[in-house]
Amino acid sequence: MIGSYGYVAEKLKATNILAVGWGPDVLNMPFKSPLHRYFFKKVIRGIDHFVVDAKNMVDVLISFGVEKNRITVFPYGPQEKFYIFPEKEGYAEPIKLITHRKLEPEYDPFTVVDALKDLKEEGIKFNFTFASFGSLQKATQERIREYGLSDNVRITGYLNEEDLINTLLAHDFYVSASLYDSTSVSLLEAMSLGLYPIVSDVEANLEWIHHGKNGRIFKKHDKESLKMAIKQVLNMEKEEYRRVLYYNYEVVRKTGSFRDNVLRTVKGML
């Protein structure tokens, strides 16, 4: 984390410091309180170069006085084992949706469950998997039970990588309801495994997904918008569905590979 490790480096009077930041380091922590803002601004003064995974993080760092030439952007994309393009001809009812975002407040699982409740009441057939765990797992499970969704929605809990990949491959659509984010590794993993993305309109998602072209965008924390986005894909032609899957796979393969981006960044710094 930029804040904590930057602080340690400052105390040790280290030099030539390279800080690698995740979304919450830059998009959330500095804005928690005036004290957090002061601490963040003080720490980053001692960092020589930053590596972040989304353009919206660059804007925040610049607003804190970091020169643009001290920032490198590359997505921390999928490991090689996630590049499996499935032989899907299309999808059928019940549609199979999944998310592997953690069950935490910033990923807003309650809005997902609320939208699913309305979809079931409208007679839409679906199965939804939360392939994840987190502090809201019990509350999410209780909401699922309260809404009568236990036959349609399941929570797997923690999955190892092999089980996660196999679970993702068994689904057709990926959903992310994040309230803030940098480039989501989960989104790129889903794209590399041939899932059609339905994601919230946070800025980092818009760097990858263009509504109607290679996925669907919905308003964050808005169950009606999410419900509409899911309903829109129900009428998609098989050829269009297949085109989007292939397009997204190629985008991530070319620009989102973790291995390739690390090698490119290290080479540029030598």
Q: Which residue has the tokens 């292939």?
A: 246
CA dihedral 80, 107, 137, 91 (to 10 degrees): -60
Give residue limits of the domains in the chain: 2-73, 80-255
Reported as a single tens digit per residue, the pLDDT across 34-52 is 888 888 888 888 788 888 8
pLDDT for residue 77? 80
CA dihedral 210, 216, 217, 223 (to 10 degrees): 180
Dihedral-angle region of residue 127 (phi above 0 means left; psi in -120 to 50 means alpha; beta otherwise): beta
Alpha-carbon distance 64 to 138, whole Å? 38
Kindly report the pTM of this predicted structure.
0.83
Alpha-carbon distance 109 to 141, whole Å? 10
Alpha-carbon distance 111 to 107, whole Å? 9
Reported as a single tens digit per residue, the pLDDT across 70-88 is 888 877 788 889 998 887 7
Q: In terms of Cα–Cα distance, which of 193, 238, 196, 234 is closest to 213?
A: 196
Collapse the DSSP code of 260 into the 3-class scheme (helix H, G, I; strand E, B; otherwise coil) and give the result: helix
Fold of 80-255: Rossmann fold (3.40.50)
* Chain mean pLDDT for the chain: 89
Helix axis angle, 185-192 to 238-255, nearest 10°: 120
Collapse the DSSP code of 52 into the 3-class scheme (helix H, G, I; strand E, B; otherwise coil) and give the result: strand
Burial of 153 from C-beta contacts in 10 A (0-12 / 13-18 / 19+): buried
Question: 265 falls in which pLDDT band (50, 70, 90)?
Answer: low
With contact defined as beta carbons under 8 Å apart, do 182 and 54 qualify?
A: yes
Alpha-carbon distance 185 to 78, whole Å? 6
Burial of 37 from C-beta contacts in 10 A (0-12 / 13-18 / 19+): middle
Reported as a single tens digit per residue, the pLDDT across 1-43 is 565 555 555 565 656 787 877 777 888 888 889 888 888 888 8
pLDDT for residue 10? 59
